[in-house]
Amino acid sequence: MTAITGIAGKFFEACETGKGWEGCKEYCTTGATFSAQAEPLADTRTLQEYTDWMKGLLTFIPDGRYELKSFATDEERKSVCAYGIFSGTHTGKGGPCPPTGKSLNTDYVYVMEFDGDKIRHMTKIWHAGLAMKELGWV
């Protein structure tokens, strides 16, 4: 296993379990950026914002969990891709509406780009519209 593979794995675990920026920043460059073509994340530009968004998401989807399906490192391009399925039920207070009691299973991919041994940028590939529909938010 290469250094970036291990770092990406630790970051992924911290992010997906709601550790927020405090639990993720050691794996990232200062000012690490973020992008996604998904409506709920349209204005999210930094990994700090995204990891804190994930932390907040787990307050209204308290049983939120992931299943890691694939994890791959591209040494030439200094990137790591993680494909997972996020599952959970909207039972907690918060979010865009009162708890719906509805559940989701949503596929997503993180593409983490490295500068040395730190993540400098992450792209999330996710169909947010279908996820929000499953949760009864639209």
Give residue 100's pLDDT band: very low, low, confident or very high (50, 70, 90). Answer: very high
**Tens digit of pLDDT for each residue in 110-125?**
999 999 999 999 999 9
pLDDT at position 121 is: 98
- Please compute the mean of the pLDDT values over residues 87-98 and round it to a whole number: 92
pLDDT at position 18 is: 97
- Please compute the mean of the pLDDT values over residues 59-86 and round it to a whole number: 97
**What share of the chain in percent tops pLDDT 90?**
94
Output the 3-class SS for 64-130: CEEEEEEEEEECCCCEEEEEEEEEEECCCCCCCCCCCCCEEEEEEEEEEEEECCEEEEEEEEECHHH
Q: Which CATH architecture has domain 3-134?
A: Roll (3.10)
Give residue 96's pLDDT band: very low, low, confident or very high (50, 70, 90). Answer: confident
Question: Domain boundaries in the chain?
Answer: 3-134
